[in-house]
Amino acid sequence: RKEVEQDPGPFNVPEGATVAFNCTYSNSASQSFFWYRQDCRKEPKLLMSVYSSGNEDGRFTAQLNRASQYISLLIRDSKLSDSATYLCVAKNFGNEKLTFGTGTRLTIIP
């Protein structure tokens, strides 16, 4: 079983729609979590950190459920520029390693 699992998609969503991704993690020692965005043939870029209380950044909302060991990302009013692969990431305190999911590919359709 992979340490961080995501639905690979692809998700093809019309512009303006709301889309949600989920991710599960298996290592209970994971302490902090992130969503990264990766455009085709580019490096991953940090989109947002994920906190237990949930956090919002404009159209993006991230939530963490420690009891069920899953993380979510919600994108509202999706734009064409949101088309990318979204990577779910867990970090363990102590060794500071990031463990990545394989990513969920999102395409926003005009």
Partner 1 sequence: DVKVTQSSRYLVKRTGEKVFLECVQDMDHENMFWYRQDPGLGLRLIYFSYDVKMKEKGDIPEGYSVSREKKERFSLILESASTNQTSMYLCASGTGGFYGYTFGSGTRLTVV
Question: Binding to partner 1 by residue 97, rule CB under 8 A?
Answer: yes
Q: Which of 38, 52, 45, 46 is nearest to 102 (CA)?
A: 38
User: DSSP 3-state assignment of 82?
Assistant: helix
Binding mask 22-61 for partner 1 (x = CB under 8 A): ---------xx-x-x-----xxxxx--x------------
Question: Binding to partner 1 by residue 92, rule CB under 8 A?
Answer: no
Q: Which is nearer to partner 1, 18 or 65 (CB)?
A: 65
Question: Binding to partner 1 by residue 95, rule CB under 8 A?
Answer: yes
Please give the structure tokens belonging to residue 102. Answer: 């394989």
Number of other residues whose CB lies within 10 A of the CB of residue 2: 12
Q: How many Å apart are CA 42 and CA 54, to the nearest integer?
A: 28
Question: Binding to partner 1 by residue 70, rule CB under 8 A?
Answer: no
User: 14 forms bridges with which residues in the sheet?
Assistant: 109
Sites of contact with partner 1 (CB under 8 A): 31-32, 34, 36, 42-46, 49, 87, 89, 91, 93, 95-103
